[in-house]
Amino acid sequence: EDRLLALIEGVLAANIFDWGSKACVDLYNQGTIIEIYRMSRKKMQRPWRIDDFDTFKSRMLKKDQPYKRALISVDNAGADVVLGMLPLAREFLRRGVEVVLVANSLPALNDITANELPEIVAEAAKHCGILRKAAEAGGLIVDAMAGIQGDTKDEPASVPLMVVENGCGSPCIDFRQVSSELAAAAKDADLLILEGMGRSLHTNLNARFKCDALKLAMVKNQRLAEKLFNGNIYDCICKFEPVS
């Protein structure tokens, strides 16, 4: 339970690294990436502006694993994906859930692209056996990598970690118009995770899906926070919408 909460807090805290937000860019003049991340983690006081974490936790901690494949739509390059989304993806892999990382086809602001993700996964895999085995199973890395830290002999056979492009070149996403690659990957998905203001708030806050959906974002615009939630800048949302 504490582990899952820490991971969700990590995703929300790391979402502060957004070059599309002037308020966040200004933070770079006040500290290093690690200092900003630590500051952001300290702000993770619940309840969040939308806080469905307990419902999500109850679903995740069922005796029988409720999910087989998770589509995880990532947002910003750099610290956001490395400190936030990769650890969350690793947790699903550790629990035996296939993970499909979904990223932009084309650059937009500082959003990471699908072409950039495999290299980042490969670097992380040098330090994590779970990511390495899953990336190999998903075809992201071909050869077993030397110098791995940690012993993986007691881990179960790995489920795959894959990357697909979403067909977009925008911080937002319209799921009526996605790549054929994403459409094919979505057929077997039973969990969709959307991260970031563009994908979670601007375009899909009220969208309902045919599988469970988890929408995670830090609101980095005061006017948007007031309009949507009568809230404040740096408020967080953790909106979980189970199908049943």
- For residue 90, the domain's CATH number is 3.40.50.10880
Tens digits of per-residue pLDDT, 75-91? 999 999 999 999 999 99
Q: Above 50 in pLDDT, residue 106? A: yes
Closest CA to 238 of 24, 14, 20, 54: 54
* Confidence band for 234, pLDDT divided at 50, 70 and 90: very high
Tens digits of per-residue pLDDT, 31-70? 899 999 999 998 899 999 999 999 999 999 998 889 999 9
* Confidence band for 157, pLDDT divided at 50, 70 and 90: low
Q: What is the pLDDT of residue 143?
A: 56
* Confidence band for 204, pLDDT divided at 50, 70 and 90: very high
Q: What is the pLDDT of residue 23?
A: 84
Burial 1-34 (b: 16+ CB within 10 A, else e): eeebbebbbbbbbbbbbbebbeebeebeeeeebe
Give the range of the structural domain holding residue 99, as residue numbers without chain letter: 2-241
The residue ranking higher by pLDDT, 116 or 24, is: 116
- DSSP string for the chain: -HHHHHHHHHHHHHTT--TT-HHHHHHTTT--HHHHHHHHHHT-PSSPSEE-HHHHHHHHTSSS---SEEEEE--BTTHIIIIIIHHHHHHHHHTT-EEEEEEBSS--TTB-BTTTHHHHHHHHHTT-HHHHHHHHHTTS--SPPSS--S--TTSPPPPPEEEEE-S--SSS--TTS--HHHHHHHTT-SEEEEESIIIIIITTTT---SSEEEEEEE---HHHHHHHHS--TT-EEEEEE---
- The pTM of this model reads 0.92
* Confidence band for 145, pLDDT divided at 50, 70 and 90: very low
Rounded CA-CA distance 16/238 in Å is: 15
Domain count, the chain: 1
Q: Are 114 and 137 in contact (CB under 8 A)?
A: no
Any idea which residue has 């779970």 for tokens?
A: 130
The residue ranking higher by pLDDT, 144 or 137, is: 137
Q: What is the pLDDT of residue 147?
A: 45
Closest CA to 215 of 73, 38, 120, 29: 73
Q: What is the pLDDT of residue 28?
A: 81
Mean pLDDT on 108-137: 96
